Amino acid sequence: MRVVIAEDEALLRQGLELMLGQAGFDVEAAVADADELERIVAEKNPDVVITDIRMGPTFTEDGMVAALRIRVNHPDTAVMVLSQYVQRRYVRQLLVPATGGVGYLLKQRITDVDAFCENLRTIAAGGTALDPEVVAVMVDRARLSHDDVAKLTPRQREVLTLMAEGRSNAWIANRLVLSEKAVVRHISNIYEALGLPVDADDHRRVLAVIRYLAG
């Protein structure tokens, strides 16, 4: 899998490059600012882009702006946005266009190498990966503002949360010690409770849930 990294901190950039190389990824380029990132993506058309939010040239949210543009201009490239801090607004922005192949994690998640690589494979396959922290914020907020979410059982909310993080049914079943059939049942109950259209495609189903929660 071909990866491009954008991170302005040189040590971290090299660390990521090394770690991904050891984990079997093919790192095509590692750049330090957002303009360079967009240029290299246009040139190499990688499978996955990993980018920090705050980097040059303006050191505000250049990485995010570049990520949003890559989502539109290179729909085949999955985008993983890393940040010191996660918030709902960026989830909402990253889901335009409403397609998969996108991830949004706290920067520190890269240290759990297995989980991080798993996340990269998920988004490269068209799935999503959202940080548990931002999902927790979104679910809590939805519980306070949407009666539909407030009426879900605690177990249903657990399933909803894990779904929004981008976990597969098997992963959820394993984590909650349930059968996959039970997970599927929970999911269809959740869909009914939230009034979401049922979709056979897993990725699209998850996207609908995230968009619902992101408000």
**Angstrom distance (rounded) from CA 146 to CA 141:** 8
Q: How far is the CB of 147 from other proteins (least distance, A)?
A: 11
Q: How far is the CB of 132 from other proteins (least distance, A)?
A: 13
Q: How far is the CB of 56 from other proteins (least distance, A)?
A: 12
**Angstrom distance (rounded) from CA 112 to CA 31:** 23
**Angstrom distance (rounded) from CA 145 to CA 209:** 16
Helix, strand, coil share (%) of the chain residues, nearest 5: 60, 15, 25
Nearer of residues 71 and 109 to other proteins, judged by Cβ? 109
Nearer of residues 87 and 189 to other proteins, judged by Cβ? 87
List beta partners, residue 128: 102
Nearer of residues 42 and 96 to other proteins, judged by Cβ? 96
Nearer of residues 75 and 85 to other proteins, judged by Cβ? 85
Structure token digits, residue 103:
């991830």
Binding site for other proteins (CB under 8 A): 9, 11-12, 15-16, 19, 22, 53-54, 60-61, 64, 83-85, 87-89, 107-108, 110-114, 137-138, 140-141, 144-145
SS3 readout for 85-128: CCCHHHHHHHCCCCCCCEEEEEHHHHHCHHHHHHHHHHHHCCCE
Nearer of residues 16 and 50 to other proteins, judged by Cβ? 16
Q: How far is the CB of 105 from other proteins (least distance, A)?
A: 12
Q: How far is the CB of 60 from other proteins (least distance, A)?
A: 5
Nearer of residues 157 and 204 to other proteins, judged by Cβ? 157
List beta partners, residue 5: 30, 50
**Angstrom distance (rounded) from CA 7 to CA 155:** 38
List beta partners, residue 2: 26
Q: How far is the CB of 205 from other proteins (least distance, A)?
A: 24
